[in-house]
Amino acid sequence: MAAVLYGRGRYARAYAVEGTARLIELALIVVAVIGFGAHQLAVAAILCAVAAADLATISLMKASEVDWARPNLRSFDFRWIATQFRPGLGFMLSNLTTQSVLLQGPRVALGIVSGGQAVAIYSVYATALRLVDQIVQASKIQGPRRSSTADAARNASHANWVPMMMSWYARSSSLRS
């Protein structure tokens, strides 16, 4: 739905709504957890409620901006939709396995083996590494010359990951016993 706003050049409105929704979501979760000792189910309910409010707000903005952008089920070609079902299902399963197995899988396994602190460290490392990878990719876009600084930063972060995790695990194991 935000694509209608983007198409009309209203990027700021859509981003402002999205950013405001995320800030409200964060504030509600902080108040619920710290103030009321809320559990995971309450946090999930907050996430769903804010997402629904975000969707409703974007829908209202779209309707006020472009009145012709309404779904008309009579104009749908259901035979074409049926032919796209299998490729769409394959694409959906590909994203599901990529996200769940490759991204969330290591975090879940690490949480089971080493606890929540290791997951936090791994998440910060993964985020920092993605930033370095983006810098490396951006430096390669500029031309044929390679950025030795960006490559060195990426190589150093990869080389230091295993020793850092091993030393952290050794310290945390000694604290538990």
Looking at the predicted structure, is the pLDDT value of residue 40 above 80? yes
Residue 91: what residue type? F
**Which residue carries 């998440």 as its tokens?**
123
Contact (CB, 8 A) for 6 and 62 = no
- Rounded CA-CA distance 156/159 in Å is 5
> Which pLDDT score is estimated for 22?
92
What distance in Å separates the CA atoms of residue 2 and residue 21, rounded to the nearest whole number? Answer: 14
Task: Pick 26 or 67 by higher pLDDT.
Answer: 26
pLDDT for position 140 = 64
What does the pLDDT look like over 51-84, one tens digit per residue?
999 989 988 887 777 777 677 778 888 898 889 8
Measured distance CA(53)–CA(164) in Å, rounded? 42
Q: Contact 18/54 with Cβ under 8 angstroms?
A: yes
CA distance 26 to 109: 27
**CA angle at 44 for the pair 41 and 50, rounded to the nearest 5°:** 140
Tell me the C-alpha distance between 132 and 164, whole Å: 18
Q: Give me the pLDDT at residue 29, please.
A: 93
Contact 14, 6 (CB under 8 A): yes
Which range has the worst mean pLDDT, 62-76, 99-113, 162-176? 162-176
User: 142 pLDDT exceeds 60?
Assistant: no
Put simply, whether the predicted model's pTM sits higher than 0.85 gets the answer: no
Q: What percentage of the chain has pLDDT greater than the value 90?
A: 18
Residue 72: left if φ>0, alpha if ψ -120 to 50, beta else—which one?
beta
Give the residue among 8, 2, 50 at the shortest CA–CA distance from 25: 50
What percent of the chain has a predicted confidence (pLDDT) above 70?
73
Stretch 171-175: mean pLDDT, rounded? 58
pLDDT score, position 33: 92
Share the mean pLDDT of the chain: 78
- The region of weakest confidence among 91-95, 116-120, 135-139 is 135-139
SS3 2: helix
